[in-house]
Chain A
Amino acid sequence: MEKILEKKRIDDWIKALSDWEVHAPALQDGIWTYQPVSGAIRLDHPNTNQSPKGFAFPQREIFFSFEQIKGEPPKLKQVLPKTPQHAVFGVRPCDGRGVPRMDKVFNDHVEDPYYNARRKNVAYVGLACNKPPSPNCFCLSVGGSPVSTDGLDVQLTDMGDRYFVKAITEAGKALMKAADGMFSDPSAAEQKQLKQVHAEAVAHPQRKVNDPDGAPAKLKANFNSPLWEEMARACIGCGICTFLCPTCHCFDINDEVQNKAPLKGQRVRTWDNCQFPDFTMHSSGHNPRENTGARLRQRVNHKFQYFHENFGMHQCTGCGRCITGCPVGIDIVTVVNKVTEHAG
């Protein structure tokens, strides 16, 4: 389904989506974040500070609650998320491509009921990038594109005073049907303009991972390279790179106790991070990834080798958040290029 929507009518479209909870990027506290829409939206954001992964994989998820009176068996109460239907507007193509990657992780081998319960109620309304929204964008070199529709339910393309609106999935069609009368059919000239806008978008220069196809084998060959420690020399071991990433999925599970006797608490999943020192530390104190070099290697290899070996695609979608966010200049593009250009 392909339609034209006048830009000034986007708020009317959103108003018509009464069956959905609509979120869109808003500038607050100096950063762009997804916020529930109340009133007018603007889709002129660069990219959001955090990826939209939290809609299906929130930073904190309660698995179940438990209660136990001493001497009696514990009582467990399963808490599966019951979320309303979400429509997330303004999702950039890189973040769209993050969605199928997260779907794979949470459904490969065993299905994750919490992720899926949320995921089935989220529709992603993407916005093509007419020009790279960040100086650290590199989607083209990791198999993506500023006009990719992968993972999106609807794709919007900014054509001046109009959006070219394309439904990608059934969920996307439903969003458009909810406001049927607002859209018009694209003319031949508008179809032509779309092609031109997309062609220009793809032609914009971006940063580049030089050898994405060779990366898995080369990273594997350079596993023991001294480059890792050298490149991680400045790493402070914080969680910015992975918390902002659209495809980082690592998590921790902990019991949070609200009351000791009688015991009352919740088992909770929270985002975790391969850059934290205790991430892989055994109870004995032995740590298979003891230093920042080994941890940087894990992050990069996971994105560009392990995931590729498991699923046939790079996990990194080239959004550049980890580069922009790093307080000490660790740059995944530079890292991958250095390692792949290093004679193993």
Chain B
Amino acid sequence: MPDNIYLPQLARVAYIKDEVYGERAIKTFRVEPVDGKLFDHECGQCAMLSIFGRGESMISIASSPLIREYKQFSIMKVGRVSSAFHELEVGDVIGIRGPYGNSFPVDDWRGKNLYFIGGGCGLAPIWPVITTAVAQRDYFKNITVFYGGRTSRDIMYRTELEKLRDSVDVHLSIDKAEEGWEGYCGFVPAAVMDKDPNPGNAIAITCGPPIMIKFVIQNLNKLGFKDEQIYTTIENKMKCGIGKCGRCNVGKDYVCVKGPVYSWAELKHLPEEY
């Protein structure tokens, strides 16, 4: 870590892609260092991104740690800083500091079946795990991705998901039926039940809106997944990223340090302050 943890490194936006349009617009940004190199990270970690004059926001790193040249972030337009991100153009310079938080124990999962269950913009935090597992395909048994959006227009990483189909089972879903939609219609927890995943030698990783996570976990439990086999991430408002500013704690732990990745076995014992 640098001497002054609060001083961001400058990074240039090298690529912008519109993932989702409309009210819950999501854009993907790739950023490269202006000078030197960016920090290394692990799957699930976050970075504090700045737009000078607007402020900072904690965003999960959506690119695989195997990619060293750039870091990728998918940002939904929700507030002050994220709206400013949506106005950026290629070549603009932002600030970045990190990495923050813990990570998914991907190496421990070698030899297992992996089920990824994402909803909405919740695909971004687990995307580095998916892409890392795919890049190291031989280390893992079956890999299955369930991902749903409210409508077909809310599906992010559409092209990338299609490419995954070569080596991974991909099940896309949307909440309500639409003309021309060939995937599942219904909520993500139901989409999971529909495919009846086998808990044997498996790990399930889920991320999405809190209500979705709640029912996904209930359903996984029904299918026989043990709490230790289920992983998720949580979010809280953050300012410092290093456990000092005092707001992201759930019980004694600061999510920016001990989180955002939790197994359900750990998380279910924590107070629901997230």
Binding site for B on A (CB under 8 A): 63-64, 66, 68, 73-74, 76, 78, 80, 105-106, 108-114, 220, 223, 249-255, 257, 260, 263, 265, 267, 269, 272, 274, 279-284, 286, 288-289, 294, 298, 302, 305-307, 309-310
Pick 19 A–B contacts, CB within 8 A, sort by A.
Answer: A66-B52, A66-B53, A73-B10, A76-B7, A80-B4, A249-B246, A250-B246, A251-B245, A253-B239, A254-B55, A263-B53, A272-B239, A279-B237, A280-B236, A280-B248, A282-B235, A282-B237, A294-B273, A305-B252
**B247: contacting residue among A73, A110, A274, CB under 8 A:** A274
Binding site for A on B (CB under 8 A): 1, 3-8, 10, 12, 34, 50, 52-56, 78-80, 82, 93, 95, 210, 235-237, 239-240, 242-252, 257, 271-274
Query: A105 to chain B: which residues have CB within 8 Å?
Result: 244
Query: A110 to chain B: which residues have CB within 8 Å?
Result: 1, 5, 242-244
* Inter-chain contact A283/B52, CB cutoff 8 Å: no
CB nearest neighbor in B for A308: B252
Which secondary structure dominates chain B's binding surface? loop
Query: A289 to chain B: which residues have CB within 8 Å?
Result: 273
CB nearest neighbor in A for B4: A113
* Inter-chain contact B236/A306, CB cutoff 8 Å: no
Inter-chain residue pair count (beta carbon < 8 A): 123
Distance A263 CA – B54 CA, assembled complex (angstroms): 11
* Inter-chain contact A255/B55, CB cutoff 8 Å: yes
Query: B249 to chain A: which residues have CB within 8 Å?
Result: 298, 302, 306
* Inter-chain contact A112/B5, CB cutoff 8 Å: yes
Distance A89 CA – B162 CA, assembled complex (angstroms): 69
Distance A74 CA – B53 CA, assembled complex (angstroms): 10
Query: B82 to chain A: which residues have CB within 8 Å?
Result: 283
* Inter-chain contact A223/B4, CB cutoff 8 Å: no
**B4: contacting residue among A78, A269, A281, A286, CB under 8 A:** A78
**A112: contacting residue among B55, B235, B244, B257, CB under 8 A:** B244
Query: B53 to chain A: which residues have CB within 8 Å?
Result: 66, 68, 255, 257, 260, 263, 265
* Inter-chain contact B273/A252, CB cutoff 8 Å: no
Query: B242 to chain A: which residues have CB within 8 Å?
Result: 109-110, 112
Query: B56 to chain A: which residues have CB within 8 Å?
Result: 253
CB nearest neighbor in A for B234: A288
Query: A263 to chain B: which residues have CB within 8 Å?
Result: 52-53
Query: A269 to chain B: which residues have CB within 8 Å?
Result: 6
* Inter-chain contact B257/A109, CB cutoff 8 Å: yes
* Inter-chain contact A74/B252, CB cutoff 8 Å: no
Distance A310 CA – B79 CA, assembled complex (angstroms): 33
Q: Which of B5, B52, B56 has the most CB of A within 10 A?
A: B52
Distance A251 CA – B53 CA, assembled complex (angstroms): 18
Query: A63 to chain B: which residues have CB within 8 Å?
Result: 6-7
Given contacts A255-B55, A263-B52, contact A272 B5 (CB under 8 A): no
Closest CB in chain A relative to B258 CB, distance in Å: 10
Besides A272-B246, A298-B249, A306-B251, 13 other A-B contacts (C-beta < 8 A) = A73-B12, A73-B34, A74-B95, A110-B1, A252-B245, A253-B6, A255-B54, A280-B236, A280-B237, A288-B274, A302-B249, A305-B252, A306-B252
Given contacts A66-B52, A113-B3, A306-B252, contact A251 B10 (CB under 8 A): no
**A250: contacting residue among B235, B245, B274, CB under 8 A:** B245
Closest CB in chain A relative to B214 CB, distance in Å: 14
Q: Which of A74, A252, A257, A310 has the most CB of B within 10 A?
A: A74
CB nearest neighbor in B for A286: B210
Closest CB in chain A relative to B81 CB, distance in Å: 8
Query: A280 to chain B: which residues have CB within 8 Å?
Result: 236-237, 247-248, 273
Q: Which of A78, A223, A251, A267 has the most CB of B within 10 A?
A: A267
* Inter-chain contact B236/A106, CB cutoff 8 Å: no
Distance A186 CA – B258 CA, assembled complex (angstroms): 51
Closest CB in chain B relative to A259 CB, distance in Å: 9
* Inter-chain contact A73/B7, CB cutoff 8 Å: no
Query: A288 to chain B: which residues have CB within 8 Å?
Result: 236, 250, 272-274
Given contacts A283-B82, A310-B252, contact A251 B243 (CB under 8 A): no
Query: A267 to chain B: which residues have CB within 8 Å?
Result: 6, 50, 52
CB nearest neighbor in B for A110: B242
* Inter-chain contact B257/A251, CB cutoff 8 Å: no
Query: B244 to chain A: which residues have CB within 8 Å?
Result: 105-106, 110, 112, 249, 251
Closest CB in chain B relative to A304 CB, distance in Å: 11
Q: Which of A110, A251, A281, A302 has the most CB of B within 10 A?
A: A110
Distance A167 CA – B12 CA, assembled complex (angstroms): 53
Distance A309 CA – B253 CA, assembled complex (angstroms): 9
Closest CB in chain B relative to A315 CB, distance in Å: 11
Distance A112 CA – B4 CA, assembled complex (angstroms): 7
**B240: contacting residue among A64, A66, A251, CB under 8 A:** A251
Closest CB in chain A relative to B247 CB, distance in Å: 5
Distance A286 CA – B53 CA, assembled complex (angstroms): 25
* Inter-chain contact B55/A76, CB cutoff 8 Å: no
Distance A305 CA – B271 CA, assembled complex (angstroms): 13
